[in-house]
Structure 1
Amino acid sequence: MKLFMASSAHLLLFLNACLLLLPLLPTSGQRSTYIIHMNSSSMPASQPTHHDWYSTILENMSLATPNSTTSGRPQLLHTYHHALTGFAATLTADELRAMEGSSGFIAAYPDLEIKLHTTRTPQFLCLNHDTGLWPSSSYGDGVVIGVIDSGVWSESPSLNDGGMSPAPLWWNGTCELGTRCNWKLIGARSFNVSSSTADGESARDNDGHGTLVASVAAGAPVSGASFFGYANGTAVGMAPRAWISVYEVADGRTLVAFTCNVLAAMDAAIADRVDVISIAMGLTDLVPLYEDPFAIASFSAMKKGIMVVFSAGNDGPSNYTVTNAFPWAITVGGSSVDRRLTGTLTVYGDSFTGVSLYPLSKLLVDLPLVYNATISHCNSSELISQAAAGKIVVCHGLGGIGSMFYQIAAVNASEAAAAVFVTDDALFLEDGEFACPAIALDLDTGEVLLRYLSSLPYPTASMEFQETQVSGFLGPVIAAPAIGTYSSRGPSLISPDVLKPDVVAPGTRILGALANPFAVKSGTSFASAHVAGIAALLQAANYHSWSPAAIRSAMMTTAHQLDNTGDPIKDSATNSEATPLAIGAGHVDPNRALHPGLVYDAGEVDYVSFLCSQGFSQEQIMAIVGVDSYDCSSPSPHLNYPSFIAFFPPQPLWPGPQSFMRTVTNVDTKPAVYRAFVRQPVGFTVSVQPEELVFNATMATNTANFVLTIVQNEEPVTVVSSGSLTWVHEEFTYTVRSPIVVVAERAPAFP
């Protein structure tokens, strides 16, 4: 598992990180950490608490399984009451086998290792002080966002409590020693406990990831914020009046966390009564829903009415890479905003502007510009020094982001004064950092520069840094949003019947709080932080009356699919139109989500019915939904979800028509008529019955049912074909859109 931040400082780590799944059965003398799922109804009456029960089990187990090669006894690390019922402990192979025979035992999950995965976005998302979601929600006042991450830097100006109210009377959270809480930061606890870490560490953020996520979701306004002059402006989170509670689970020194600690944090967040949980991390190696602690814990949160927001992952641009694809949560991909952080190269009056984040204020004037075949790939600091000492060197970056890092390192170790990198690597342009004075030009701009240089015998140039371009403001239009190359794509290997990600939000080059005090980072972590803040605003605006499914539906059905130029949102990896496998329902639109017209609602019963149709055993379903009674007498694959995905394998396996049953709820409560408009996927015919939905004034007729059917007409010409269903209000007050995705492959079967 890893935190989904595509920071360039860790970029090679996240591109190559592999989940270290601890063996199910360690050697007889070796202890490993396991999460033990227990049936609480099996607790003996003689035990006063669950903690006592678990302690007794471990003590008896130690006596029953003596092992001279193992020092010490099983260690009880965490006790879980809300995310699931059970505990985490260190066990040997013999002890684990004995545990499986204990009364009340449901399952054992090996602990999984985790690698650690704004001044413009409020305006880009059209949040303003006069109309829309901000004033309607009182900026998130009365909502608590729980951030499960690497901790918090409580001295950050984004966590100042000016204008905030004290923590509510019902708040159960606490602030541990070592963290300064206030009326903004009302909770801070550390759960960074495992077999390899010491108990009692504070919730202080040594990495910065958690502080940045918290500030993007709900940071207080801070004027004059910037990253060394880049992205200057007023930094403010999506829900600036919401309370924040932070749960530290990741060691900022080693960039490692474990699922047992994350599960303990989720357990505490549920008990503390947060309203929204933000989790910017996920498993790298996929496991079934019934073995995924995040799936189980987020189901428990959903039952309590808590909206859980997950990042989709940074393993794009390939399909089938999305993680956290739980039907009861919201999964968020990352996109760009209409702002560029740049530097400029000027050659005899002609300017070439490229990406830069070089942090120092430096002006280079009339230095020789060097480009030749010997040093064009800039892979030798010695050759660069010989050819370009005290000069600006031009490097042609080919071979991907790994090659770019080597080039930057070579230039930084050389005697060159600065560098210009010409690259076709979209990921570096989205997230590259600069250890030396440099700018990066895309391939088209770079080729213009190289042709120009070939006509000049002894070119000289000047360079400036710390520039910020905003679309249309004394500069060119910057097409946005565009889907980040890093952002993970669907379909989900775990739950392919549900389209994931659900939506996308700003995740590329986002300014947020850090200890110094601001930084610019990229990744789906920050996209999900935006959506967590927007979810808090929607809860506040609707007086906590909407379910998590209704909030997700409102964001999905009002999302937009066009960029600021009026063209379809593009995929940065291909520079072509993005498919719903990358953008889900589209780019989140907070103000439109405030008034969605209709919502696709769902609750615990609906999710259980869906799980019952997925071929899981009774024990597997129990592991997900808990030990409470549930009804599988009417299993249904027709989960009331605001999107549609169907798999049509090629001939001779063409399936017959595929139908989807849905129910929509009129949240406007006024009488209304909606009519269906369908955009057909190429090669398929989509029909909807009925084509008209009528809602009367009474609450008894506040819902309506329909069936959507997909029929294949011809052999698909592409693997992915997409369309949409839009319910349009008779007076065009609302448009309620759902994406339709048809994949010309057999649905994946998880091993």
Structure 2
Amino acid sequence: MVQNLSLWLFILCFYLVNTGFKADTQDEVDKRQPYIVYMGDAAEKYHVEASENHHNLLSKVIGDESKAREVRMYSYGKNIDGFVARLLPHEAERLSRDGGVVSVFKNTQRQLHTTRSWDFLGFVESKYRRSETVESNIIVGVLDTGIYIDSPSFDDKGFGPPPAKWKGKCVTGNNLTRCNNKVIGAKYYHLKQPNYNDTAADYDGHGTHISSTIAGVAVSNANLFGLANGTARGGVPSARIATYKVCWEEGCSAMDMLAAFDEAISDGVDVISISIGGASLPFFEDPIAIGAFHAMKRGILTTCSAGNNGPGLYTVSNLAPWVMTVAANSLDRKFETVVKLGNGLTTTGISLNGFTPTKKMYPLTSGLLASNVTAGDYGEPNACQSGTMGEDKVMGKIVYCEVGSEEAGGSSEGQDHIVRSLKGAGVIVQLLEPIDMATATLIPGSYVFFEDGTKISEYINSTKNPQAVIFKTRTTKMVAPAIASFSARGPQRISPNILKPDISAPGLNILAAYSKLATVTVYPDDKRQTLFSILSGTSMACPHAAAAAAYVKSFHPDWSPAAIKSALMTTATPMRTKDFEAELSYGSGQINPRRAIHPGLVYDITEISYLSFLCKEGYNATSIGLLLGGSNETKKEYRCVDHKQGLGSDGLNYPSMHKQVGSTGTNVSEIFHRTVRNVGYGPSTYVAKIWAPKGVRVEVEPRIMSFVKPGEEKHFKVVINGVMEETMRGVLSASVEWDDSRGHLVRSPILLFQAGRM
């Protein structure tokens, strides 16, 4: 018996060693990390379930079927072929060498990047053309923090049942016990242990704000603290909403986003809005680029936020040419909060302060005077950092806080929260640089510019009894549109000759629906609830563009995503107030949905054109072939040499024209080749109008294009020669506009950027 047992143990050990199996030690368990294994297009690829194929591949690499089952987390297989598994680095490397794998990359956490905005865009409800019946068949998928279903913006009164094409589900849970005929779908994606937040309900407010900006029904008397009072509505108020919750307290996981994309495409959405971003990555390692590519293949346009890391250059994210990347611009209103000092001096700051003062004046102090720290202690009391001030010196007073240095450390907590915790009556915060974004405060508060802050500090130190009062925020007018200071700028790093962002839309101080499951501020101890809130970010600009795309699609349901994007870009309104970065900050300009439904001409881009572009960008032909889909039996080998295009350095029939030129010398020369399709109703003749700076010659060949019928295509080229003057500081901005003298103006910006000159 012992001999037989020894023999069996020997055989088992021999098998385990030769199959490569090795039980994970605790150290190896800790080292296992989620990796996304991307395998291309899933459509018609397998005769068996995709998950079975994924399991077989993973088992082959790991060497054990049960271990493969244990470490696999997700399988995508409706549109995107791929899976997620907790892998060791050497296992990920082995998978990346498999011929059926496009890329293997670590799962990452990405971050979340109205009463007036639609009127500002010329969308006055009684004056713009809409077909409510057609619009009600449009479904917009929103990947975000979920939705607050009980918001009045999502009332489904008068709505019929969901469109017949809808294949999605309503996954109910805590605080989301139903969907309706407005919000027709709700799903959530989260692989952590179940908790009370495992629901598509919105505990943040971000997703609700975005969804209502796109398709919220009209709600009168919408406001925050009485600010921005009016009727709030979305751009396509008759459209349906499908929410896909992929963002949680810790961020937005790449593997969750891919799962949401995979399902949203099959569910039947027409447009996808995703206000999420992160570090720029190669397209085959970027979950948004991957998901949006497969959406594009099924005729779905994805709109993405450009990011909030401006105003520096090279900050733009969501760079794939098949997505519409949206910058944030201002409206013609701003929110000002006035501070009056005891000496009669009045300064104007910015905030969303809903508090009305109950006294004429309050005692005023500074963080430095309220200090309870001694020399050498950690933190900066002048910046009102946590733990640096005494409650006895703050209680009942307005506290003035100077700008603190990042090197000094201290808490990232807001000064309003810190001063309130010490029972202060209000806070005035000095800004190092002017800002345009208003934020809500926990107590009466105002953010003042540096010069005004200096005057406040001088006043405090000039009297024994300094006093001040902070008034409730008021709404005033401003010149607009202008690009928001935080909005990310190009040029981009992944495909340097594709101009990003593509377009801009209102994203500064936008009022829209909010979740009553969230706080007005980010702090849990803020007990104030609101049905509407004012938020800023390219996150707010993205849904404006998504709604505009849905609006165009309601008139042209057969147009490709690229054609819809082209219509929005070529009809965009040039910015009234321009910053030095020009098109690097706003692309083609501010969206103009009413003009976009009749653009005259469009620049279209096919799937094969995108694949050719990827070849030009240096991506592997075998990996590109996996994007084509089809079964292993019907699929043909993809060869980059078969799909060359003569479109110049940018490699695509893009609606904008952009080139990064060398950093040495001032002479510039470039040629762009383009093709446009007539989408007008009859014969037409277009003449090219050119704008270029002094010293630069821009020629269009041919200068006149005549079309006989709709659908006809014409080719032209743009030739640029000239000198980049020192005053341009490395940015040469021009444009070509095709004019048919019948109301169609098809404008393409031209931008040459000289690296190292700015």
Check whether the contact 1:192–1:199 (CA below 8 A) recurs between aligned residues. no
> In structure 2, what is the equivalent of residue 742 of structure 1?
752
> How many angstroms apart in 2 are the aligned matches of 1:136 and 1:28?
59
> In structure 1, what is the equivalent of residue 396 of structure 2?
390
> How many angstroms apart in 1 are the aligned matches of 2:604 and 2:400?
56
> How many angstroms apart in 2 are the aligned matches of 1:296 and 1:388?
52
Indicate yes or no: 2:233 matched with 1:236.
yes
Higher CA-based Rg: 2
Check whether the contact 2:384–2:401 (CA below 8 A) recurs between aligned residues. no
Q: Using a 3 Å threshold, how does the CA distance of structure 1 residues 342 and 106 change in structure 2: closer, same or farther?
A: closer
**TM-score, normalised relative to structure 1:** 0.83
Check whether the contact 2:355–2:471 (CA below 8 A) recurs between aligned residues. no
> How many angstroms apart in 2 are the aligned matches of 1:488 and 1:176?
35
The C-alpha deviation readout for 1:358-397, integer Å capped at 9, x for no partner, is 3445433233455798579453787686777534444444
> In structure 1, what is the equivalent of residue 560 of structure 2?
547
**1:584 corresponds to which letter in structure 2?**
G
> In structure 2, what is the equivalent of residue 480 of structure 1?
480
> How many angstroms apart in 1 are the aligned matches of 2:696 and 2:309?
30
Check whether the contact 1:377–1:407 (CA below 8 A) recurs between aligned residues. no
Check whether the contact 1:43–1:53 (CA below 8 A) recurs between aligned residues. no
Shift of 1:718: 3.9
> How many angstroms apart in 2 are the aligned matches of 1:487 and 1:387?
39
Shift of 1:514: 2.2
Report sequence identity in percent: 33
1:80 to 67, 71, 76: 76
**TM-score, normalised relative to structure 2:** 0.82
2:106 to 110, 118, 133: 110
Indicate yes or no: 2:429 matched with 1:417.
no
Aligned to 1:203, what secondary structure does the other structure show? coil
1:536 to 550, 553, 557: 550
> In structure 1, what is the equivalent of residue 502 of structure 2?
502
1:123 to 119, 126, 137: 119
Q: Using a 3 Å threshold, how does the CA distance of structure 1 residues 199 and 343 change in structure 2: closer, same or farther?
A: closer
Indicate yes or no: 2:209 matched with 1:222.
no
The C-alpha deviation readout for 1:36-70, integer Å capped at 9, x for no partner, is 2347899998x63222333344456655489xxxx
Shift of 1:244: 0.4
Alignment of 1:47-196 (within 5 A): 48-58=48-58, 64=64, 73-93=69-89, 95-96=91-92, 99=95, 104-133=100-129, 135=130, 140-178=135-173, 179=176, 180-193=178-191
Out of 636-645 and 137-146, give the one that drifted further: 137-146
> How many angstroms apart in 2 are the aligned matches of 1:691 and 1:448?
59
> In structure 2, what is the equivalent of residue 699 of structure 1?
710
> How many angstroms apart in 2 are the aligned matches of 1:203 and 1:171?
18
Aligned to 2:228, what secondary structure does the other structure show? strand
Check whether the contact 2:73–2:85 (CA below 8 A) recurs between aligned residues. yes
> In structure 1, what is the equivalent of residue 621 of structure 2?
618
The C-alpha deviation readout for 1:433-470, integer Å capped at 9, x for no partner, is 423311122345556777888999966544321x3414
> In structure 1, what is the equivalent of residue 19 of structure 2?
none
**2:37 corresponds to which letter in structure 1?**
I
> How many angstroms apart in 2 are the aligned matches of 1:379 and 1:44?
60
Indicate yes or no: 2:728 matched with 1:725.
no
The C-alpha deviation readout for 1:224-276, integer Å capped at 9, x for no partner, is 2222333222221121111000111222xx33232111111101011011000
Check whether the contact 1:355–1:440 (CA below 8 A) recurs between aligned residues. yes
> How many angstroms apart in 2 are the aligned matches of 1:579 and 1:432?
27
Aligned to 1:257, what secondary structure does the other structure show? strand
Shift of 1:710: 1.7
Aligned to 2:361, what secondary structure does the other structure show? strand
> In structure 2, what is the equivalent of residue 644 of structure 1?
657
Indicate yes or no: 2:434 matched with 1:426.
yes
Check whether the contact 1:647–1:746 (CA below 8 A) recurs between aligned residues. no
The C-alpha deviation readout for 1:175-197, integer Å capped at 9, x for no partner, is 01323200001111112226x67
Indicate yes or no: 2:678 matched with 1:673.
no
Paired residues, number: 690
1:298 to 274, 292, 302: 292
Out of 49-58 and 141-150, give the one that drifted further: 49-58
Shift of 1:640: 1.1
> How many angstroms apart in 1 are the aligned matches of 2:467 and 2:196?
59
**2:38 corresponds to which letter in structure 1?**
H
> How many angstroms apart in 1 are the aligned matches of 2:719 and 2:683?
27
> In structure 2, what is the equivalent of residue 440 of structure 1?
447
Q: Using a 3 Å threshold, how does the CA distance of structure 1 residues 368 and 335 change in structure 2: closer, same or farther?
A: same
> In structure 1, what is the equivalent of residue 384 of structure 2?
379
Out of 399-408 and 306-315, give the one that drifted further: 399-408
Indicate yes or no: 2:224 matched with 1:201.
no
The C-alpha deviation readout for 1:516-546, integer Å capped at 9, x for no partner, is 222222211111011111111111122x122
Q: Using a 3 Å threshold, how does the CA distance of structure 1 residues 267 and 198 change in structure 2: closer, same or farther?
A: farther
Aligned to 2:569, what secondary structure does the other structure show? helix
> How many angstroms apart in 1 are the aligned matches of 2:682 and 2:508?
40
> In structure 1, what is the equivalent of residue 21 of structure 2?
none
Q: Using a 3 Å threshold, how does the CA distance of structure 1 residues 126 and 452 change in structure 2: closer, same or farther?
A: farther
The C-alpha deviation readout for 1:104-141, integer Å capped at 9, x for no partner, is 444323222223442221121121223335x3566932
Q: Using a 3 Å threshold, how does the CA distance of structure 1 residues 140 and 399 change in structure 2: closer, same or farther?
A: farther
**1:37 corresponds to which letter in structure 2?**
Y
Check whether the contact 2:41–2:80 (CA below 8 A) recurs between aligned residues. no
> How many angstroms apart in 2 are the aligned matches of 1:233 and 1:139?
27
Aligned to 2:659, what secondary structure does the other structure show? strand
Indicate yes or no: 2:265 matched with 1:270.
yes
Q: Using a 3 Å threshold, how does the CA distance of structure 1 residues 457 and 109 change in structure 2: closer, same or farther?
A: closer
Structure 2: gaps spanning 5 or more residues: 1-25, 371-380, 517-530
> In structure 1, what is the equivalent of residue 350 of structure 2?
355
Check whether the contact 2:51–2:77 (CA below 8 A) recurs between aligned residues. no
Shift of 1:315: 1.5
> In structure 2, what is the equivalent of residue 288 of structure 1?
282
Q: Using a 3 Å threshold, how does the CA distance of structure 1 residues 86 and 735 change in structure 2: closer, same or farther?
A: same
> In structure 2, what is the equivalent of residue 33 of structure 1?
34
> How many angstroms apart in 2 are the aligned matches of 1:447 and 1:167?
58
Aligned to 2:688, what secondary structure does the other structure show? strand
Shift of 1:305: 0.9
Check whether the contact 1:368–1:458 (CA below 8 A) recurs between aligned residues. yes
> In structure 1, what is the equivalent of residue 321 of structure 2?
327
> How many angstroms apart in 2 are the aligned matches of 1:326 and 1:545?
23
**1:658 corresponds to which letter in structure 2?**
E
Shift of 1:586: 1.0
> In structure 2, what is the equivalent of residue 3 of structure 1?
none
> In structure 1, what is the equivalent of residue 603 of structure 2?
600
The C-alpha deviation readout for 1:413-436, integer Å capped at 9, x for no partner, is 445422333424334x51544233
Alpha-carbon RMSD across the aligned residues, in angstroms, is: 3.5
Shift of 1:93: 4.6
The C-alpha deviation readout for 1:645-687, integer Å capped at 9, x for no partner, is 11221336x7873211011222223322222222214653222
**2:268 corresponds to which letter in structure 1?**
R
> How many angstroms apart in 1 are the aligned matches of 2:609 and 2:266?
24
**2:512 corresponds to which letter in structure 1?**
G
> How many angstroms apart in 2 are the aligned matches of 1:687 and 1:586?
22
> How many angstroms apart in 2 are the aligned matches of 1:646 and 1:27?
49
> How many angstroms apart in 1 are the aligned matches of 2:355 and 2:160?
39
Shift of 1:730: 4.2
Aligned to 2:230, what secondary structure does the other structure show? strand
**1:668 corresponds to which letter in structure 2?**
G
> How many angstroms apart in 1 are the aligned matches of 2:450 and 2:40?
59
Shift of 1:746: 8.1
Check whether the contact 1:557–1:737 (CA below 8 A) recurs between aligned residues. yes
> In structure 1, what is the equivalent of residue 586 of structure 2?
583
Q: Using a 3 Å threshold, how does the CA distance of structure 1 residues 678 and 483 change in structure 2: closer, same or farther?
A: same
Indicate yes or no: 2:301 matched with 1:307.
yes
